[in-house]
């Protein structure tokens, strides 16, 4: 250890506010949430203490015990013990405990102390504890524990001052390392009881507000009703609130494209690349930023408030019957935003079988990258009508697509359960944390992160594929005297026509076939690709905003419905397959996922197309 | 009495946690989470479908346990002193 720097590991039970404390100290920008196991990645930050010393802070996953029950807890234990490959042992462990829940959290503090490393205890959420009338004799607790104890309020500015001052001072001496066996483990509870009796006075075991809210939120009838209404409202909002913002972006992109290309000669290749390639392609995707952000806004607020584990509680039985677990609700709900964080969040599922099933069905949740495709098709083919004087027909169709994804995920999970050989018991054992008012700063940071990721995708992979597609659909140029649109003669046109043989039975035309190929990299690319393909085949300049009206003239309703059905299932996302490979360490699982999803997609589209044609 | 049979709202105290089989990890985790002799527990709510899972309060923490998990915990109901 150099004199100028110090490596600090942050540990604690899930829901102790550790990640918020990490944000407070480092100004780090990552997700803070209120359900067990959100911290699934290694997070490191640094800050300079008043003394000028640089402190490296490592945020470790929440753990109930070092008797690890999940990959999360295993990482925490290995890092603390200094045996994690590539991770030097920390110079100091800051153990964070929720001051309102010391009976549970102190036990882990004692476990950490037994490691025999320097430890500082941070009593977090001291403001809430005081409000609830909980009195903690901190000097006495410090004396009995033999550890420095500081008070923190992670969600308040300056709430970590005492901790900063403490870690900036002398490193406290390490306690004596103690063996870890069943007898000493049972002894920990006795020690906790003794400590609590001597140092903590609690007027009431739980917050009155939690009891009142849970009476409604967990009620067998009202609870499910609240959950259903909440989910439905989110999807209605995604559709209706975003509209004005989307119109604004559309107009802005069209104006910018027109202004930028007005100086170029209209028949030059550069004009075509900018107008047909970049603005038509990227504009078509950029328009969906508001919808994605509104969806994430709701997910972040639900996460922060502590409601999600309640939803998991309500749905556990249903999901268990289908071969999943209530815990899978949280990763699966994240998958509505994007399957990648969803699949990574499965690390908090303790049972490896439950975890694998959840990973395999996560791509069936309607991720936000499908929204561009859905919105485009729904806006073009489904009339703006009010149903039963209450619902917007377009919103109802969107909701149906989401339900189709959920129902098929349950069905697939059920099939997996039937085929599984190991039928031993699966555990739930899930903590329901206190309700919390979502912190505006944390939600805003989360949204900003999401917007950045989306814009990076637009500026990176989507831009690159759009330009590539423009080249493929421009070259080779048409022979002299050709009458059809230039794209018919290009590489992309020929590829689309070849693929058309496979996709004709499900009603896809060759333009869709072209769009599906770059759309393998990311779903929303299909929309930008369609924008480019149609702009290239049009006689005049067709910008993104006109893609909807254009396809509504050229496609049959059956084709549109078939493409919607395709997108409910098709694994058109390389990143998802890559993350499945990484999280399960198996190409077999990747092949199974891709295979069953493409199979279901083709089957669903075939049925949809043939039925819709027969009916019309 | 098993924790899974406890009536809603009535206070009880944990007696012991039994392993369902040798080296039962679920029983071990229950003990780690504080289900040990002498801890007061209470059934707060039941799940909407088949009254499963159960919401158990122990100390100031609430855990969702499936019935089969709660059945590992033996409790005794306190007679009001």
Determine what percent of chain A is predicted with pLDDT higher than 90.
Answer: 30
Residue B30 has pLDDT above 70, yes or no: yes
Q: How far is B42 from chain A (nearest CA, A)?
A: 11
Q: Which of B28, B36, B41, B64 to mutate to test the interface with A (most CBs of A within 10 A)?
A: B64
Residue B16 has pLDDT above 60, yes or no: yes
Domain ranges of chain A: 5-201
Residue written as tokens 């930050």?
A45
Distance CA A275, CA A358 (A): 42
Q: According to the model, what pLDDT value does residue A534 have? A: 80
User: Could you tell me if B62 lies within 8 Å of chain A, comparing CB atoms?
Assistant: yes
Distance CA A518, CA A214 (A): 47
Cβ separation of B60 and A220 shorter than 8 Å?
no
Three-class DSSP category at A267 = coil
Cβ separation of A326 and B64 shorter than 8 Å?
yes
Contact A91, A56 (CB under 8 A): no
Cβ separation of B64 and A107 shorter than 8 Å?
no
Q: How confident is the model at residue A436 (pLDDT cuts 50, 70, 90)?
A: confident
A321 contacts: CB under 8 Å, gap ≥ 6: A414
Q: Closest by alpha carbon to A273, among A462, A474, A458? A: A474
Q: What angle, rounded to 10 degrees, do the helices at A463-474 and A491-503 form?
A: 100
Distance CA A193, CA A103 (A): 7
Other beta carbons less than 10 A from residue A165's beta carbon: 13
Q: According to the model, what pLDDT value does residue A493 have? A: 80
Q: According to the model, what pLDDT value does residue A483 have? A: 66
The partner residues of A56 in beta bridges, in order of sequence, read A7, A46
Exposed/middle/buried for residue A99 (C-beta within 10 Å: 0-12, 13-18, 19+): buried
Q: Closest by alpha carbon to A112, among A99, A129, A97, A101? A: A97
Here the tokens at position A275 are 């107008």
User: Could you tell me if A15 lies within 8 Å of chain B, comparing CB atoms?
Assistant: no
H/E stretch holding A563 reads helix A557-569
Q: How confident is the model at residue A543 (pLDDT cuts 50, 70, 90)?
A: very low
Q: How confident is the model at residue A31 (pLDDT cuts 50, 70, 90)?
A: very low
Q: According to the model, what pLDDT value does residue A39 have? A: 43
Cβ separation of A425 and B20 shorter than 8 Å?
yes
Q: Closest by alpha carbon to B35, among B78, B81, B73, B80? A: B73
* Best mean pLDDT range from A147-156, A176-185, A380-389: A147-156
* Model confidence pLDDT, tens digit, residues A339-369: 877 887 787 787 888 999 999 999 999 887 8
Per the rule left: phi > 0, alpha: psi between -120 and 50, beta: everything else, A139 is alpha
Q: According to the model, what pLDDT value does residue A445 have? A: 76
The stretch A7-31 carries a mean pLDDT of 82
Q: How far is B81 from chain A (nearest CA, A)?
A: 20
* Model confidence pLDDT, tens digit, residues A155-165: 888 889 999 99
Residue A545 has pLDDT above 70, yes or no: no
Does residue A8 or residue A261 have the better pLDDT? A8
Domains of chain B: 3-77 (2.30.30.90)
User: Could you tell me if B22 lies within 8 Å of chain A, comparing CB atoms?
Assistant: no
Q: Which of A34, A210, A427 to mutate to test the interface with B (most CBs of B within 10 A)?
A: A427
Cβ separation of A205 and B28 shorter than 8 Å?
no
Distance CA A521, CA A341 (A): 17
Q: How confident is the model at residue A537 (pLDDT cuts 50, 70, 90)?
A: low
* Model confidence pLDDT, tens digit, residues A303-349: 889 898 999 999 999 999 988 998 898 789 878 877 877 887 787 78
Q: How confident is the model at residue A37 (pLDDT cuts 50, 70, 90)?
A: very low
* Model confidence pLDDT, tens digit, residues A441-488: 778 877 887 787 777 777 777 677 777 877 877 777 777 776 666 677
Residue A203 has pLDDT above 90, yes or no: no
Cβ separation of A69 and B29 shorter than 8 Å?
yes
Contact A282, A522 (CB under 8 A): no
Chain B residue with CA closest to A435: the answer is B62
Distance CA B18, CA B35 (A): 11
Of B60, B63, B66, which has the smallest distance from its Cβ to A206's Cβ?
A: B60
Q: How far is B34 from chain A (nearest CA, A)?
A: 7
Residue A148 has pLDDT above 60, yes or no: yes
Q: According to the model, what pLDDT value does residue A3 have? A: 53
Contact A40, A34 (CB under 8 A): no
Residues of B in contact with A218 (CB under 8 A): 44-45, 55
Residues of A in contact with B46 (CB under 8 A): 220
A residues 96-155 lying closer than 8 A (beta carbon) to B: 100-104, 107
Peptide bond preceding A476 in cis form (omega within 30 of 0): yes
Q: How confident is the model at residue A598 (pLDDT cuts 50, 70, 90)?
A: very high
Distance CA A596, CA A594 (A): 6
Q: According to the model, what pLDDT value does residue A30 have? A: 53
CATH architecture of A5-201: 3-Layer(aba) Sandwich (3.40)
Cβ separation of B59 and A427 shorter than 8 Å?
no
User: Could you tell me if A316 lies within 8 Å of chain B, comparing CB atoms?
Assistant: yes
Q: According to the model, what pLDDT value does residue A182 have? A: 67
Of A69, A104, A223, which has the smallest distance from its Cβ to B61's Cβ?
A: A104
User: Could you tell me if A201 lies within 8 Å of chain B, comparing CB atoms?
Assistant: no
Determine what percent of chain A is predicted with pLDDT higher than 70.
Answer: 92
- Using the CB atoms, write b or e for A384-403: b if 16+ within 10 Å: eeeeeeeebebbbbbbebbe
The partner residues of B37 in beta bridges, in order of sequence, read none
Distance CA A240, CA A221 (A): 28
Q: Which of A62, A428, A433 to mutate to test the interface with B (most CBs of B within 10 A)?
A: A428
The stretch A248-262 carries a mean pLDDT of 82
Distance CA A386, CA A83 (A): 62
What mean pLDDT is reported for chain A? 83
Q: Closest by alpha carbon to A486, among A254, A258, A276? A: A276
Residue A505 has pLDDT above 80, yes or no: yes
Three-class DSSP category at A459 = helix
Here the tokens at position B77 are 């109901």
Q: How confident is the model at residue A34 (pLDDT cuts 50, 70, 90)?
A: very low
Residue A563 has pLDDT above 50, yes or no: yes
* Model confidence pLDDT, tens digit, residues A72-119: 788 888 889 988 877 888 999 999 999 999 999 999 999 999 999 999
Q: According to the model, what pLDDT value does residue A536 have? A: 67
Residue A35 has pLDDT above 60, yes or no: no
Contact A64, B33 (CB under 8 A): yes
Which alpha helices (H) appear in chain B, and where do they start and end?
25-32, 67-70
Q: How confident is the model at residue A144 (pLDDT cuts 50, 70, 90)?
A: very high
Q: According to the model, what pLDDT value does residue A542 have? A: 46
Cβ separation of A429 and B64 shorter than 8 Å?
yes
Distance CA A315, CA B64 (A): 12
* Model confidence pLDDT, tens digit, residues A206-233: 888 888 999 999 999 999 999 999 988 8
Q: According to the model, what pLDDT value does residue A246 have? A: 80
A residues 535-574 lying closer than 8 A (beta carbon) to B: none
Here the tokens at position A40 are 């699934």
The stretch A487-491 carries a mean pLDDT of 77
Q: How far is residue A220 from each of residues A157, A215, A225, B7, measured CA to CA in Å? A: 40, 10, 9, 16
CA A264 remoteness from chain centre: 42
Q: According to the model, what pLDDT value does residue A284 have? A: 67
Distance CA A299, CA A304 (A): 9
Alpha carbon dihedral A271, A273, A277, A283, in 10-degree steps, equals: -50
Residue A17 has pLDDT above 90, yes or no: no
Q: Closest by alpha carbon to A67, among B6, B3, B27? A: B27
């Amino acid at each position: 250890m150099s004199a100028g720097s110090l490596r600090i590991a942050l540990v604690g039970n899930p829901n102790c506010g550790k990640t918020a404390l990490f944000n407070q100290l480092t100004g780090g920008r990552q997700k803070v949430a209120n359900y067990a196991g959100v911290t699934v990645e290694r997070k490191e930050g640094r800050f300079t203490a008043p003394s000028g010393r640089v402190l490296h802070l490592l945020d470790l996953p929440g753990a109930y015990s070092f008797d690890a029950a999940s990959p999360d807890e295993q990482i925490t234990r290995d890092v603390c013990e200094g045996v994690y490959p590539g991770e030097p042992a920390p110079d100091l462990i800051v153990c964070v405990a929720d001051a309102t829940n010391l009976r549970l959290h102190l036990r882990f503090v004692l476990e950490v102390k037994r490691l025999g490393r320097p430890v500082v205890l941070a009593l977090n959420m001291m403001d809430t504890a005081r409000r609830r009338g909980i009195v903690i004799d901190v000097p006495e607790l410090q004396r009995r524990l033999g550890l420095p104890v500081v008070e923190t309020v992670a969600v308040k500015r300056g709430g970590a001052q005492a901790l900063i001052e403490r870690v900036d001072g002398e490193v406290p001496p390490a306690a004596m390392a103690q063996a870890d066996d069943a007898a000493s483990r049972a002894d920990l509870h006795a020690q906790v009881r003794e400590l609590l009796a001597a140092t903590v006075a609690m007027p009431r075991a739980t917050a009155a507000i939690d009891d009142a809210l849970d009476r409604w939120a967990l009620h067998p009838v009202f609870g499910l009703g609240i959950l259903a209404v909440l989910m439905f409202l989110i999807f209605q909002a995604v559709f209706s609130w975003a509209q004005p913002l989307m119109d604004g972006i559309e107009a802005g992109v069209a104006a910018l494209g027109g202004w930028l290309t007005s100086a170029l000669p209209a028949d030059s290749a550069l004009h075509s690349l900018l107008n047909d390639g970049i603005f038509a392609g990227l504009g078509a995707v950029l328009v969906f930023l508001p919808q994605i952000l509104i969806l994430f806004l709701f997910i972040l607020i639900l996460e922060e408030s502590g409601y999600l584990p309640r939803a998991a509680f309500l749905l556990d039985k249903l999901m268990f019957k289908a071969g999943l677990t209530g815990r899978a609700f949280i990763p699966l709900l994240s998958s509505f935003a994007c399957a990648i964080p969803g699949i990574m969040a499965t690390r908090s599922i303790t049972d490896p079988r439950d975890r694998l099933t959840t990973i395999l069905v996560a791509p069936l949740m309607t991720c936000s990258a499908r929204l561009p495709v859905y919105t485009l098709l729904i806006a073009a083919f489904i009339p703006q009508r009010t149903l039963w004087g209450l619902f917007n027909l377009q919103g109802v169709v969107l909701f149906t697509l989401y339900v189709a994804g959920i129902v098929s995920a349950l069905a697939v999970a059920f099939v997996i359960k039937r085929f599984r050989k190991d039928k031993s018991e699966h555990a739930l054992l899930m903590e329901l944390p206190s309700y919390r008012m979502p912190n505006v700063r944390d939600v805003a940071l989360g949204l900003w992160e999401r917007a950045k990721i989306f814009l990076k995708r637009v500026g990176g992979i989507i831009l690159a594929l759009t330009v590539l597609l423009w080249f493929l659909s421009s070259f080779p140029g048409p022979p002299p005297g050709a009458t059809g649109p230039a794209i018919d003669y290009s590489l992309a046109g020929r590829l689309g026509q070849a693929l058309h043989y496979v996709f004709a039975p499900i009603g896809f035309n060759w333009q869709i076939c072209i769009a599906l190929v770059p759309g393998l990299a990311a779903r929303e690319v299909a929309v930008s690709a369609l924008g480019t393909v149609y702009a290239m085949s049009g006689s005049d300049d067709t910008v993104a905003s006109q893609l909807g009206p254009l396809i509504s003239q050229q496609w049959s309703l059956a084709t549109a419905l078939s493409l919607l059905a395709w997108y409910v299932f098709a694994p058109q996302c390389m990143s998802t397959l890559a993350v499945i490979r990484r999280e399960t360490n198996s190409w077999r699982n990747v092949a199974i996922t891709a295979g069953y999803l493409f199979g279901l997609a083709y089957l669903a589209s075939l049925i949809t197309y043939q039925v819709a044609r027969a009916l019309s | 009495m098993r924790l899974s049979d406890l009536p809603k709202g009535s206070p009880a105290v944990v007696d012991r946690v039994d392993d369902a089989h040798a080296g039962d990890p679920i029983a071990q985790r229950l003990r780690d989470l504080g289900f040990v002799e002498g801890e007061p527990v209470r059934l707060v709510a039941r799940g909407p479908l088949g009254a499963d899972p159960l919401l158990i309060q122990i100390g100031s923490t609430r855990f969702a346990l499936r019935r089969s998990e709660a059945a590992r915990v033996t409790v005794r109901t306190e007679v009001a002193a």
